[in-house]
């Protein structure tokens, strides 16, 4: 039997994921809080639902990719949310980044309302990996639900790992974000040091190839630090949100995360002085005022 898929949340990550689903041949229905974002997918062959509940009535698996806990709660438990749809064994696969306790609360209330199951499945790899279909998915939930989701996930993920029960995927994503933040800031400081020393920072990947510093994040962030202009990769505001979530979870567990706390404040400060939607713009905090900004070039 062909898997019918619903997708809610057509932002910079959700839209390429939905297009990958269509390209895989799976029947797709979409819904978005901003209706005009559904139009390209409608033209590509997707059906458009009038509400999350309307989407759930026709789909076996429902993927979410929305901005945070409030959005997840709204589309799940709000007016015309998933909880108002008749339950017939559907599965929610949530790619949003939210606290693990929110995942467990929302999933529990949804299951109590109509029996719909939940898999928390945050992703890593950014929009380039979403477009290529090579995302990494870290999941929390039952083995049965994880296996059920594979027909959907293979449309856009290269690696999927079940990390444990509900909430384990979200906890793993926080670990991912701690590593990303530390490495991204480290690359920015290396670029600033290279510039100060008169070394062409664009040649760092060549010089460091094969060494311990030769990481995917070096290759990913360096071009954006040298020419900050791309706004398609997400926002540092979301990264700070995830670091704050990690710090809150660590405090509850009595686990110190001193570097993460410092990085959260550095990036929070950068977001006040640079453009958080532009990937790499946070290096402006290190360069200081007066450094040429590509966005200021009238040409």
pTM of the model: 0.92
Q: Is 241 a catalytic residue?
A: no
pLDDT in the model for residue 292: 55
Pairing label, strands 135-140, 157-164: parallel
Whether 166 contacts 140, CB under 8 Å: yes
47, β-bridge pairs:
29
CA distance linking residue 61 with residue 95, whole number of Å: 13
CA distance linking residue 112 with residue 196, whole number of Å: 59
First to last CA, the chain: 55
CA distance linking residue 27 with residue 281, whole number of Å: 39
Structural domains for the chain: 5-165 (3.40.50.720), 171-288 (1.10.1040.10)
Phi-psi region of 40 (alpha: psi -120 to 50; beta: other; left: phi over 0): alpha
pLDDT in the model for residue 241: 94
Whether 30 contacts 18, CB under 8 Å: yes
Q: Which of 37, 43, 173, 241 is catalytic?
A: 173
CA distance linking residue 35 with residue 47, whole number of Å: 13
Under DSSP, the state recorded for 31 is E
pLDDT in the model for residue 293: 56
**Residue (of 130, 125, 220, 121) closest to 171 by Cα position:** 121
- Tens-level pLDDT at each residue, the chain (299 residues): 679 999 999 998 999 999 999 999 999 999 999 999 999 999 999 999 999 999 999 999 999 999 899 999 999 999 999 999 999 999 999 999 999 999 999 999 999 999 999 999 999 988 889 999 999 999 999 999 999 999 999 999 999 999 999 999 999 999 999 999 999 999 999 999 999 999 999 999 999 999 999 998 999 889 999 998 877 777 889 899 999 999 999 999 999 999 999 999 999 999 998 888 888 899 999 998 866 554 554 43
- In a 3-state reduction of DSSP, which class is residue 199? coil
């Amino acid at each position: 039997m062909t898997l019918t898929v619903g997708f809610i949340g057509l932002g910079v990550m959700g839209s390429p994921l939905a297009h990958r689903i269509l390209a895989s041949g799976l029947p797709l229905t979409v819904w978005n809080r901003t209706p005009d974002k559904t139009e390209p997918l409608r033209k590509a062959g997707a059906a458009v639902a009038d509400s999350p509940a309307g989407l759930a009535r026709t789909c076996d698996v429902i993927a979410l990719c929305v901005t945070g806990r409030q959005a997840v709660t709204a589309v799940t438990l709000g007016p015309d949310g998933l909880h108002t749809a008749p339950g017939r064994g559907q599965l929610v696969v949530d790619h949003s980044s939210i606290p693990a306790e929110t995942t467990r609360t929302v999933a529990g209330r949804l299951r109590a309302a109509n029996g719909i199951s939940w898999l928390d499945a945050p992703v890593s790899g950014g929009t380039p990996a979403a477009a290529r279909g090579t995302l990494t998915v870290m999941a929390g939930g039952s083995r049965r639900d994880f296996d059920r989701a594979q027909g959907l996930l293979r449309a856009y993920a290269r690696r999927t790992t079940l990390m444990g029960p509900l909430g384990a995927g979200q906890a793993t994503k926080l670990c991912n974000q701690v590593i990303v933040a530390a490495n991204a800031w480290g690359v920015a400081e290396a670029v600033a040091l290279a510039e100060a020393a008169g070394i062409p920072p664009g040649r760092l990947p060549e010089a460091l190839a094969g060494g311990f510093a030769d990481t995917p994040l070096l290759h990913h962030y360096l071009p954006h630090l040298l020419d900050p202009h791309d706004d398609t990769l997400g926002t540092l505001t979301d990264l700070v949100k995830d670091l704050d979530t990690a710090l809150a979870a660590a405090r509850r567990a009595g686990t110190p995360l001193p570097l993460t706390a410092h990085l959260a404040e550095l990036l929070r400060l950068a977001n006040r002085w640079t453009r958080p939607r532009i990937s790499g713009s946070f290096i402006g905090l290190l360069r200081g005022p007066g450094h040429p900004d590509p966005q200021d070039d009238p040409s």
